[in-house]
Amino acid sequence: MNRQTSSAARLASTLLIVGMVAVACGRSNATQGTQPATQGPTAAASALAATSDAPASPAASGSATPASAAPAATYSPPAIANDPVTGEIQSIDQLLKGIDGSLSGTNGGE
């Protein structure tokens, strides 16, 4: 009987620990996991701008937590191939071609 009670207690404590770990992991993923992958360049830039206001060192902030020891904002623009500005410039190129076409259709006689 005592052995059964002890096993049940062990099982309950194991489940509790597993549950706590699962909750902790879930929170961590929610705050860090997928967010950067879905950020656009503007959002990323805003995020960079926002983080640049953070203190550069723990000493300056007076905080002793490891999280506040993050480095200052770094600037990393997207590679040209994936750059939305590059895509927009390509669209502009097409519009410029359209203007060229319009201009070349304006000369002629009756």
Partner 1 sequence: MKTRTRTILAGLAVAALLVVTSAAVASAASPVIAGGPAGTGVCATEAAAVRAGVSIDTLRAFGDCEIARRFTTLGALASKISGSKALTSSDAAALSGEVSSTKSGLTGLKAQIDAETSLPALKSEIRQIATAYRVYLLVVPQVNLVNGADTVQLAQTAFNQVSTNLTARIAAAKAAGKDTTAAQADLDAMNAAVTQAVGLAGPLPAALLPLTPAQYNAGTAGPVLKNARAALVQARGLLQSARQDAVACRDALK
Footprint of partner 1 (CB under 8 A): 41-42, 44-46, 48-49, 52, 72-75, 77, 80, 83-86, 88-89, 91-110
> Which residues, at least 6 apart from 91, have a Cβ–Cβ distance to it below 8 Å?
none
Q: Which residue has the tokens 């994936």?
A: 82
Which of 25/43 has CB closer to partner 1? Answer: 43
Could you tell me the end-to-end alpha-carbon distance of the chain, in angstroms, rounded to an integer? 110
Least Cβ distance, residue 4 to partner 1 (angstroms): 60
Whose Cβ is closer to partner 1: residue 23's or residue 89's? Answer: 89
